[in-house]
Amino acid sequence: MSDKDRSDVRMRGVRSFVLRAGRATAGQERALAQLWPKYGIEYSAALLDLHALFGRAAPRMLEIGFGAGEALLEFAAAHPEIDCIGVEVHRPGVGRLLLGAEAANLRNLRVICHDAVEVLQQQLAPGCIDLVHIFFPDPWPKKRHHKRRLIQPPFVELLATAIAAGGTLRLATDWEPYAQHMREVIDASPAFANVATDTGFVARSAERALTRFERRGQRLGHGVRDLEYRRAG
Ligand SMILES: C[S@@+](CC[C@H](N)C(=O)[O-])C[C@H]1O[C@@H](n2cnc3c(N)ncnc32)[C@H](O)[C@@H]1O
């Protein structure tokens, strides 16, 4: 059994999300119908040819769980030289992203509306991504729900497979116990080196756009932790 098959077995059945009931607005539904052919990548259990999809060879970033897409849209607009892929399960969020992509006329952005675990397992070839962003993943604060947290050893193995040697993994959370959990799990992986020198956390990057989710955390008085890792090898 390969490493990939093993993480498949361990992660099957426990999802990091519960699909929220929120409906897409009429504008988002229109975007999902009209703009999906331009920006959308259908999920299928086959490796993607990203070179063909973007029509060029360029560095690639992946944002997992982009929510309403603020950070991803800003990053893609600021980095036309980087091809960006967003993965999100919440359809209204995908609709918002499509509207933003069209308004900014972004050519370097594509979106997949599916569970990122399966996207990493099935669609992304080893080493095809240079940078991964995971900002404010659901913290699942109750102990009985901790198994739902996205950042778990098998998921970190999947990230390690997708990210090229020398690539970067950036995370942020406003839930301190999850920040500590992220450090424990990712610091323990031989595939990743923590970039922080002292506390284990890095300063907030000026490039990380403030999202609605982070604003909500600020209103609740939550502090934010940023983490950055380099893919070893
Ligand atoms: C707490 S929200 C944060 C959204 C955004 N990153 C922000 O900072 O505003 C977490 C998001 O991750 C998405 N998500 C959770 N698990 C996911 C998975 N396995 N695959 C794709 N998206 C996922 C959820 O639908 C949700 O939109």
User: pLDDT tens digits, the chain, 233 residues: what are they?
Assistant: 354 444 444 455 789 998 877 788 999 999 999 999 999 999 999 999 999 999 999 999 999 999 999 999 999 999 999 999 999 999 999 999 999 999 999 999 999 999 999 999 999 999 999 999 999 999 999 999 999 999 999 999 999 999 999 999 999 999 999 999 999 999 999 999 999 988 999 999 989 999 988 999 889 999 999 999 999 98
CA-based nearest residue to 90, from 44, 147, 21: 21
- Matching residue, tokens 């609740």: 220
How many whole angstroms separate alpha carbon 133 and alpha carbon 70? Answer: 13
pLDDT computed for residue 7 by the predictor: 47
Which residues contact ligand 1 via a Cβ below 6 A?
16-17, 64-67, 87-90, 93, 115-117, 135-138, 150, 211-214
| pTM for the model | 0.94
How far does residue 1's CA lie from ligand 1's centre (Å)?
A: 30
Cite the DSSP H helix spans in 12-69.
26-34, 36-39, 50-54
pLDDT computed for residue 10 by the predictor: 47
Which of 112, 138, 149 gets mutated to test ligand 1 (max ligand atoms within 8 A of its CB)?
138
How many whole angstroms separate alpha carbon 121 and alpha carbon 111? Answer: 17
Sorted by where each begins, the domain ranges of the chain are 3-9+31-231
Which CATH class, in words, describes the domain spanning 3-9+31-231? alpha beta
Distance of CA 83 to the CA centre of its chain: 14
How far does residue 76's CA lie from ligand 1's centre (Å)?
A: 18
Residues annotated as part of the active site = 138
Span 36-58, pLDDT tens digits:
999 999 999 999 999 999 999 99
CA-based nearest residue to 226, from 187, 170, 159, 181: 170
CA-based nearest residue to 131, from 171, 175, 168: 168
